[in-house]
Amino acid sequence: MALDAGPDTAPSLAEEVGLTFAEVGGMDDVKKLLHRMIILPFVRPELYAKYNRSAGGGVLLYGPPGCGKTLLARAIAGECGLPFFSVGIDDVVSPFQGQAELNVSEIFAQARDLRPAVVFIDEIDAIGYARQRAQGEMGRRLTNALLQELDGVGRSTEGLLVLAASNAPWDVDSALLRPGRFDRRVFVPPPDEAAREAILDVRLRGVETSGVDLRTLARATELFTGADLRATVERALDEVIETVLDTGEEIPVGQQHLTAALAQVTPSALDWLARARDYVEFSNASGQWADVESYLGQRAVRRRLTGR
């Protein structure tokens, strides 16, 4: 080893998150739930200990893509002022025998060294897929490595907050969902009106606008995801640029550009919700998707889904 190599450690995977709930627009119900379920037990462990209520185990955030799961996970770390370790499935899946488990244990080891800390496992359903595919062997070892880490979370590893996210919670390896593991699940629905307004605001920041009424646009974009809203704004910007190129006149972005653009974007949460409805109908016997079910039952959602 070179003399000047310093301590023999892997590069730190920790991230400092500046983001808090204040930067997450709307989503008041989800924020409140996360506050009760995750943040309070974490910042007031003595209260939970007094009532003999263990705060261990992981929390699974699930819902349609582009609706704020990753954003919320980061904001939870930011709210608690904790270092954030993000485990993308691509980070851990490795073609080298045994490497995937090593990566998982390296991340957890680093998080424990720095604890209290948040470990976030994104797209956790992909591990289940890896298990089914040709790399079945690796998927199984990866799941086992993860289970081992998770089972430690309630005990020696106190001070680790383990969050996971999935668009397809029904595909998550059921071993990962058992009590003490990701047994607490939070549905992150499509952004509500206030969240849509916040997302549009962020997307239009730094762009010259004239007469743009975000509230009206937010109202007209029910079931649009963050990604759909981004696509809407991008379409409107393209239209404006096109006009500038045609006329040579540099115009600001107006409400009409955005209204025209949103008519061309299909809210992508519709697909997800239709799929979710099937799962809820056929496999909600244990009530595990009750939150999705009640969301689907909302009048506005039902109307969009069934056209009635």
The residues that touch ligand ATP, with contacts defined as CB under 6 A, are: 24-27, 65-71, 165, 167, 191, 195, 198-199, 202, 226-227
Report, in Å, the least distance between residue 69 CB and Mg ion: 5
180 contacts 151 by C-beta, under 8 angstroms:
yes
**Residue number, nearest CB to ligand ATP:** 226
Q: How far is CA 68 from the centre of its chain?
A: 5
CA dihedral over 55, 280, 165, 88, signed as positive or negative: positive
- 167 near Mg ion, rule: CB under 5 A: no
- 232 near Mg ion, rule: CB under 5 A: no
Out of Mg ion, ligand ATP, none, what residue 226 binds, judged by CB under 5 to 8 A for its kind, is ligand ATP
With both helix axes pointing from N to C terminus, report the angle between 193-204 and 226-247 in degrees, rounded to the nearest 10: 40
Tell the burial category of 281 from Cβ atoms under 10 Å away from its Cβ (0-12, 13-18, 19+): exposed
Report, in Å, the least distance between residue 218 CB and Mg ion: 22
The correct pick among 24, 70, 125, 166 for binding Mg ion (CB under 5 A) is 70
Cβ distance to Mg ion smaller for residue 82 or 188: 188
Give backbone dihedrals phi and psi of 118, rounded to 5 degrees, phi first: -105, 130
What are the Cα distances from residue 156, in Å, to 65, 112, 152, 217? 34, 10, 6, 49
Binding to Mg ion by CB under 5 A, coded x per residue (else -) over 30-69, reads ---------------------------------------x
Out of ligand ATP, Mg ion, none, what residue 167 binds, judged by CB under 5 to 8 A for its kind, is ligand ATP
Q: Which residues bind Mg ion (CB under 5 A)?
A: 69-70
